[in-house]
Chains A and B, each alone.
Chain A
Amino acid sequence: GAVVSQHPSRVICKSGTSVKIECRSLDFQATTMFWYRQFPKKSLMLMATSNEGSKATYEQGVEKDKFLINHASLTLSTLTVTSAHPEDSSFYICSASGMDTQYFGPGTRLTVL
């Protein structure tokens, strides 16, 4: 199956700093990537849809200035959590859309101290 990677897998940062998470489709081109947030033992919550070469579409209640998304190429989308606070601590998962299926990355555990 298709492979999607995320980097870093874990990150710990201080409150007020910004953190960038990368999502790459390794063996296919993805015009659309999705970013999700997941709380412990809970389901995935869609944050935004990232389209290559255009602005991301954010779900209701998600601050676009807080969660910056860039989809500069067909294989890379980045999520930057700006001025992170402890309440932003979570598991962030991306997916890439290809071959009529969404393929999920392994997730990034963000801990904000």
Chain B
Amino acid sequence: TQLLEQSPQFLSIQEGENLTVYCNSSSVFSSLQWYRQEPGEGPVLLVTVVTGGEVKKLKRLTFQFGDARKDSSLHITAAQPGDTGLYLCAGDNQGGKLIFGQGTELSVKP
């Protein structure tokens, strides 16, 4: 069974701080997606990483895919209250199914 271990599960920080969320697995994924979800809404895709070692930037968010395509990280610089939400990583196992991590509940206080 493929698993994605996401950490930390809860993170409460002050505005302006930096943070990193990790997703780790013993399995190789063909691609990995990061989503952000607000209460009562569906997940919204932030980025898809496909190539081992790939780094993608989305404004203050930096996403990395491990060289072996087994792990990924999301780094947020100078977090803002608007970044508050549930962050989910999900790996594509080539069967079309997404394997989700446990999620990281981020709270950024003004």
Asked if B78 lies at the interface with its beta carbon under 8 angstroms from chain A, I say no
**Interface flags, B11-48, vs A, CB<8A=1, else 0:** 00000000000000000000001010000111111001
Instruction: List residues 36-95 of chain B with CB under 8 A from any CB of chain A.
Output: 40-45, 48, 86, 88
Complex formed: what's the CA distance from A6 to B48 in Å?
Answer: 24
A45 to B88, CA, bound (A): 12
B96 touches A42 (CB 8 A): no
Q: How many chain-B residues does the 8 Å CB contact rule pick out? A: 20
| Total cross-chain contacts (CB, 8 A) | 50
| Residues of B contacting A101 in the complex (Cβ-Cβ under 8 angstroms) | 33, 45, 48
Which 10 pairs, one residue from A and one from B, show the smallest C-beta to C-beta distance? A104-B42, A43-B103, A106-B42, A43-B100, A107-B42, A104-B43, A44-B100, A43-B102, A105-B42, A93-B42
Binding site for A on B (CB under 8 A): 6, 33, 35, 40-45, 48, 86, 88, 96-98, 100-103, 105
| Interface, chain A (partner B; CB < 8 A) | 1, 4, 6, 32, 34, 41-46, 49, 91, 93, 95, 97, 101-107, 109
